[in-house]
Amino acid sequence: DAGVIQSPRHEVTEMGQEVTLRCKPISGHNSLFWYRQTMMRGLELLIYFNNNVPIDDSGMPEDRFSAKMPNASFSTLKIQPSEPRDSAVYFCASRPTTGVQETQYFGPGTRLLVL
């Protein structure tokens, strides 16, 4: 298995532009997570999907952030409009089942820089 796949790996954009991050979870995994990691705040959960349905998006910072999971093999995280404070590494992770004790498998991350 190729693991969790994220694209792009790096993104540099200007303030106000729309940014779309993509994730392909491990095949057969039922749960998907979007995280943001910064030096100041560490790893923060943005949104959690279970069987393609958003369960909790309370971690999404503002209405500028939105996430979708149209099918079991694809998810997107969109920022519109982007701001410099959105600069961070964004990780997607998937989990085999809904069991909280199950291991999460992380993708390589997308490093976003908003100028």
Partner 1 sequence: SQKIEQNSEALNIQEGKTATLTCNYTNYSPAYLQWYRQDPGRGPVFLLLIRENEKEKRKERLKVTFDTTLKQSLFHITASQPADSATYLCALEGNYQLIWGAGTKLIIKP
User: Side chain identity at 22, as an amino acid letter?
Assistant: R
Residue nearer to partner 1 on the CB measure, 22 or 81: 22
Question: What does DSSP assign to residue 85?
Answer: G
| Minimum CB distance to partner 1, residue 16 (Å) | 27
| Minimum CB distance to partner 1, residue 4 (Å) | 8
Residue nearer to partner 1 on the CB measure, 80 or 101: 101
* Distance, CA of 66 to CA of 57 (rounded, Å): 9
Q: Helices (H), strands (E): how many in the chain?
A: 0, 11
* Distance, CA of 51 to CA of 48 (rounded, Å): 10
Q: Which residues lie near partner 1 (CB under 8 A)?
A: 4, 33, 42-43, 45, 48, 50, 55-56, 91, 93, 98, 100-101, 103-109, 111
Residue nearer to partner 1 on the CB measure, 71 or 101: 101
Residue nearer to partner 1 on the CB measure, 17 or 38: 38
Computed over its alpha carbons, how large is the radius of gyration of the chain? 13
